Structure 1
Amino acid sequence: MVFELLAAAGSAAPQNKFGFAEALQQGGFIAYATVSILGVMSFGSFFILITKWIEQNKIMGQYKAMRSNFWRAPSLKEGAAKLDKNSAWRQIVDDGLAAEDQHAKMVNETDAHDWLHGSLARSEQSVNARLAGGLPFLATVGATSPFIGLFGTVVGIYRALIAIGIAGSASIDKVAGPVGEALIMTALGLLVAVPAVLAYNYLQARNKRIAEHLSGFSTDVLANINSKGAVRPAVMAAPAAAAKPAAAPAAKA
């Protein structure tokens, strides 16, 4: 008897008509389109954040290895052989060596220096441009997704006003659905925009740090080429082996 009463009470309980799925159904094509666009933007933002973070970590890890090994080599060619073939640092060295082979055709020494400097600068710019790929998408998402959500908000408010006009009164059952849809669209727009802006600023700061390292390394390579290998940055000495403890004096008889 008790179970029958509980079942009857459950069936008689009012159903929730104001959930997320219900709001999308009431919003129709515009609501589904808005959520789909925001979903694509959010997925793209997180994809770019993860892939760029991995790429930056790889370059920074190669930089640490390069600092300890590259300048210990007797020449740039031998040092380049120690670097990864697809490394940004290897690219700068290879471009510098290629420019050195071509600068002999320059009539003036000033022209030769400018040629080497320009070649290394172009190499830096190509690496920086590759690292900056995808960041414009993050900036676009951060700037436009709140307005896309606002578009859904405006449509939801418009539908609420129509419901009020048809009913002749602003009863909660007529207004709650469209207003709930409007608030959901606003929240989704902000939920997509905030991570995109944070990701953009974070990746941009790391790119600037890498660009500084690239600029310094390019300057060292240029100085080494112009000086025929005489000028090279100071290399940190390898940690000295731990000193062996002194032998204990022999005991006297």
Structure 2
Amino acid sequence: MDGLQWLRQGDVVTQASALLLLAMSVASWVVIFWKLRLLRRAHADVPRSAAAFWQAPSLAAALERLPAFDRETLVLPLVRAALQLEQLGPTTLAGRGGLSQRLTRVLRDALHGVLGRLQFGQVLLATVGSTAPFVGLLGTVWGIYHALTAMAGAGQITIERIAGPVGEALIMTAAGLVVAIPAVLAYNWFGRVIGGIEADLEGFARDLRELLIDTHAVDPGR
């Protein structure tokens, strides 16, 4: 009896554990491939976008140049949020306060939105990495229990009769590890890459804030 036949003959718990592991694997690999593309582009585009911004002759020119460099739209929301600050009228609480306070608020909100995109999927990878081994272990324990119960009802138990069913049930433990290991490795590596990108974005937001404050100090009529 091969592993697939054992799985087909398993009960609801065994089959549900296998299907759950399959769903975890598919979901984690979809997230892994999507984040590989996102972070590969972001790792290259954020420094290029920041350089393009600072090389522009004016804020308006920088806003026009950024889309060509910022393919994942990570830097552009910060610039747009800062430049749209003037639309906040004094009749609302968001439009009150000093320029420094208002810039800090709008840039923080824009930065949180950008970082949310970078962090998307990390919770799923962490969940799969931490729970998949236990789901596989559950399937193994349950499969061994039912195999031993069936053999006990059939008469004499020998090591030869136990080895086959127990070995097949252990496939679930191996499947849990196969699902969990890529998720854990991807989570750790993505976290390191995201940390570097976050540092670049936070530094750019801080420099942009200082630029706009200095510009307003030189030209208060803006």
Q: How high is the TM-score relative to the length of structure 2? A: 0.86
Question: Which sits farther off after the overlay, 218-227 or 35-44?
Answer: 35-44
Question: Which sits farther off after the overlay, 59-68 or 145-154?
Answer: 59-68
> Does the C-alpha gap of structure 1 residues 94 and 130 become closer, same or farther in structure 2, counting only changes over 3 Å?
same
Whole-angstrom distance in 1 between the partners of 2:96 and 2:131: 53
* Residue 34 (str. 1) matches residue 13 (str. 2): no
Matches within 5 A, 1:1-253: 17=1, 19-84=2-67, 87-102=73-88, 108=97, 111-228=98-215
Q: Give a deviation string over 1:14-39, Cα, whole Å, max 9, x none.
A: xxx2x222321332443332222111
| Structure (1 or 2) with the larger CA radius of gyration | 1
Matching residue's letter, 2:78: I
> Does the C-alpha gap of structure 1 residues 103 and 166 become closer, same or farther in structure 2, counting only changes over 3 Å?
same
Q: Give a deviation string over 1:93-127, Cα, whole Å, max 9, x none.
A: 0001112443777565xx32111111101111110
**SS at 1:88's partner residue?**
coil
**SS at 2:215's partner residue?**
coil
Per the TM alignment, residue 48 of structure 1 is displaced from its structure 2 partner at its CA by: 0.3
Q: Is the Cα–Cα contact under 8 Å of residues 163 and 175 in structure 1 kept in the other structure?
A: no
Whole-angstrom distance in 1 between the partners of 2:120 and 2:31: 9
Per the TM alignment, residue 230 of structure 1 is displaced from its structure 2 partner at its CA by: 8.9
Unaligned runs of 5+ in 2: none
Matching residue's letter, 1:94: R
Identical counterparts, % of pairs: 36
Greater percentage in helix: 2
Q: Give a deviation string over 1:119-166, Cα, whole Å, max 9, x none.
A: 101111110011111111111111111111111111112113213421
> Does the C-alpha gap of structure 1 residues 31 and 45 become closer, same or farther in structure 2, counting only changes over 3 Å?
same
Pairwise CA RMSD: 2.3
Matching residue's letter, 2:79: V
Unaligned runs of 5+ in 1: 1-16, 232-253
Q: Is the Cα–Cα contact under 8 Å of residues 149 and 189 in structure 1 kept in the other structure?
A: yes
